[in-house]
Chain A
Amino acid sequence: MNLIVLGLNHKTAPVEIREKLAFDTQESIREGLKKLTQTEGIKEAVIVSTCNRVEVYVCTNGENEKIIKSLKQFLSEFHNIPIKDFENHLYIFNNKDAVIHLFKVASSLDSMIIGEPQITGQVKDSFEIALSERATSLILNHLMNRALFTAKRVRNETRIGENPVSVSYAAVGLIKKVFDDLSKKSILLVGAGEMAELAMRHLIGSGIKNVYVTNRTYERAKELAKEFNGIAVSFENLKEQIAKSDIVICSTGAPNYVITEQMVKEVMPLRKHKPLFLIDISVPRNIDPLCNELDNVYLYNIDDLQDVVDSNILERKKEAEKALNIIEEETEKFFQWLNSLQSVPVIVSIRNKAEQVRQEELEKFKSRFKELPPEVIASVDYLTQSIINKIMHSPTIALKNNCDNKEILIFAARRLFGIDSEEE
Chain B
Amino acid sequence: MGTIFFELALTLYFAGFLLSLAGIVRKKDDLDKAVFLLALAGFILHTIYLVIRYIKSGQAPVFSMHEATSFFAWSILFISLCMSFCYRAKVLNFGVILSFIFMFISAFFPRTIPFIKPELRSLWIDIHALMAVFGIALFSIAFVFSVLYLIQERAIKFKKFGGIERILPNLEILDRINYRLIFWGFPIYTVALVVGFVKYLSLLGFLLDPKEIWSFLTWIVYLAIFYLRVKGDWRKKKAAYLTIIGFLLIIFGFFGINLLTESFHKPL
Question: What is the interface of chain A, defined by CB distance below 8 A to chain B?
Answer: 156, 159, 174, 176-181, 272-275, 292, 295-296, 298, 300, 304, 307-308, 311, 315
Q: Are B170 and A295 in touch, CB under 8 angstroms?
A: no
Give chain B residues whose Cβ lies under 8 Å from the Cβ of A298: 156-157
Q: Are A177 and B152 in touch, CB under 8 angstroms?
A: yes
Give chain A residues whose Cβ lies under 8 Å from the Cβ of B173: 180
Q: Are B156 and A180 in touch, CB under 8 angstroms?
A: no
Task: State which of B155, B157, B235 has its C-beta within 8 Å of the C-beta of A292.
Answer: B157
- CB nearest to A296 among chain B residues: B236
Complexed CA–CA distance, A292 and B153 (Å): 12
Q: Are A177 and B171 in touch, CB under 8 angstroms?
A: yes
Shortest Cβ distance from residue A300 to the other chain B in the assembled complex, whole angstroms? 7
**Quick one: which of B147-205 are within 8 Å of A by CB?**
152, 155-157, 159, 161-162, 165, 169-173, 176
Give chain B residues whose Cβ lies under 8 Å from the Cβ of A275: 171-172, 236
Q: Which of B157, B159, B232, B236 has the most CB of A within 10 A?
A: B159
Q: Are B159 and A315 in touch, CB under 8 angstroms?
A: no
Q: Are A178 and B171 in touch, CB under 8 angstroms?
A: yes
Q: Are A179 and B162 in touch, CB under 8 angstroms?
A: no
**Quick one: which of B38-79 are within 8 Å of A by CB?**
none
Judge whether B229 is part of the interface by a CB distance below 8 angstroms: no
Q: Are A308 and B172 in touch, CB under 8 angstroms?
A: no
Give chain A residues whose Cβ lies under 8 Å from the Cβ of B156: 174, 177-178, 298
Q: Are B159 and A304 in touch, CB under 8 angstroms?
A: yes
Give chain B residues whose Cβ lies under 8 Å from the Cβ of A300: 159
Judge whether B119 is part of the interface by a CB distance below 8 angstroms: no
Give chain B residues whose Cβ lies under 8 Å from the Cβ of A178: 156, 170-172
Q: Are A180 and B159 in touch, CB under 8 angstroms?
A: no
Known: A181-B172, A275-B172; 4 extra A-B contacts, CB below 8 A, are: A177-B155, A180-B170, A180-B176, A311-B161
Q: Which of A176, A296, A300 has the most CB of B within 10 A?
A: A296
Give chain B residues whose Cβ lies under 8 Å from the Cβ of A176: 170
**Quick one: which of B108-165 are within 8 Å of A by CB?**
152, 155-157, 159, 161-162, 165
Complexed CA–CA distance, A275 and B174 (Å): 13
Mind listing 15 A-B residue pairs with CB under 8 Å? A174-B156, A177-B155, A177-B156, A177-B170, A179-B170, A179-B172, A180-B169, A180-B173, A180-B176, A295-B236, A295-B238, A296-B236, A298-B157, A311-B161, A315-B162
Shortest Cβ distance from residue A294 to the other chain B in the assembled complex, whole angstroms? 10
Give chain B residues whose Cβ lies under 8 Å from the Cβ of A311: 161-162
Query: Taking A177-B152, A177-B156, A304-B159 as contacts, is the C-beta distance between A272 and B233 under 8 angstroms?
Result: yes
Complexed CA–CA distance, A315 and B163 (Å): 12
Give chain B residues whose Cβ lies under 8 Å from the Cβ of A156: 30
Complexed CA–CA distance, A5 and B172 (Å): 51
Shortest Cβ distance from residue B31 to the other chain A in the assembled complex, whole angstroms? 12
Complexed CA–CA distance, A181 and B170 (Å): 10
Give chain A residues whose Cβ lies under 8 Å from the Cβ of B238: 295
Give chain A residues whose Cβ lies under 8 Å from the Cβ of B171: 177-179, 275
**Quick one: which of B3-17 are within 8 Å of A by CB?**
none
- CB nearest to A269 among chain B residues: B233
Complexed CA–CA distance, A156 and B26 (Å): 13
Judge whether B266 is part of the interface by a CB distance below 8 angstroms: no
Q: How many residues of B contact A (CB 8 A)?
A: 23
Shortest Cβ distance from residue B163 to the other chain A in the assembled complex, whole angstroms? 12
Complexed CA–CA distance, A304 and B157 (Å): 11
The 4 closest A-B pairs by CB, nearest first: A180-B172, A178-B171, A177-B170, A180-B173
Judge whether B28 is part of the interface by a CB distance below 8 angstroms: yes
Complexed CA–CA distance, A307 and B155 (Å): 14
Judge whether B90 is part of the interface by a CB distance below 8 angstroms: no
Give chain B residues whose Cβ lies under 8 Å from the Cβ of A315: 162
Give chain B residues whose Cβ lies under 8 Å from the Cβ of A292: 157
Task: State which of A159, A177, A179, A273 has its C-beta within 8 Å of the C-beta of B233.
Answer: A273
Complexed CA–CA distance, A272 and B170 (Å): 19
Task: State which of B152, B161, B170, B235 has its C-beta within 8 Å of the C-beta of A308.
Answer: B161
Q: Are B170 and A159 in touch, CB under 8 angstroms?
A: no
Q: Which of A177, A272, A304 has the most CB of B within 10 A?
A: A177
Shortest Cβ distance from residue A240 to the other chain B in the assembled complex, whole angstroms? 21
Shortest Cβ distance from residue A247 to the other chain B in the assembled complex, whole angstroms? 13
Task: State which of A159, A179, A296 has its C-beta within 8 Å of the C-beta of B28.
Answer: A159
Complexed CA–CA distance, A342 and B170 (Å): 55
- CB nearest to B27 among chain A residues: A159
Shortest Cβ distance from residue A88 to the other chain B in the assembled complex, whole angstroms? 41
Give chain A residues whose Cβ lies under 8 Å from the Cβ of B155: 177
Complexed CA–CA distance, A272 and B236 (Å): 11
**Quick one: which of B86-123 are within 8 Å of A by CB?**
none
Give chain B residues whose Cβ lies under 8 Å from the Cβ of A295: 236-238
Shortest Cβ distance from residue A60 to the other chain B in the assembled complex, whole angstroms? 40
Shortest Cβ distance from residue A321 to the other chain B in the assembled complex, whole angstroms? 16
Complexed CA–CA distance, A315 and B27 (Å): 13
- CB nearest to B30 among chain A residues: A156
Q: Which of B27, B161, B165, B238 has the most CB of A within 10 A?
A: B161
Q: Are A308 and B237 in touch, CB under 8 angstroms?
A: no
Query: Taking A177-B156, A295-B238, A311-B161 as contacts, is the C-beta distance between A272 and B232 under 8 angstroms?
Result: yes
- CB nearest to A158 among chain B residues: B28
Complexed CA–CA distance, A273 and B159 (Å): 21
Complexed CA–CA distance, A244 and B47 (Å): 49
Complexed CA–CA distance, A177 and B171 (Å): 6
Give chain A residues whose Cβ lies under 8 Å from the Cβ of B237: 295-296
Q: Are A273 and B236 in touch, CB under 8 angstroms?
A: yes
Shortest Cβ distance from residue A309 to the other chain B in the assembled complex, whole angstroms? 11
Shortest Cβ distance from residue A291 to the other chain B in the assembled complex, whole angstroms? 11
Give chain B residues whose Cβ lies under 8 Å from the Cβ of A177: 152, 155-156, 165, 170-171
Q: Which of B30, B169, B235 has the most CB of A within 10 A?
A: B235
Complexed CA–CA distance, A178 and B161 (Å): 14
Shortest Cβ distance from residue B69 to the other chain A in the assembled complex, whole angstroms? 34
Q: Are B235 and A273 in touch, CB under 8 angstroms?
A: yes
Complexed CA–CA distance, A78 and B206 (Å): 100
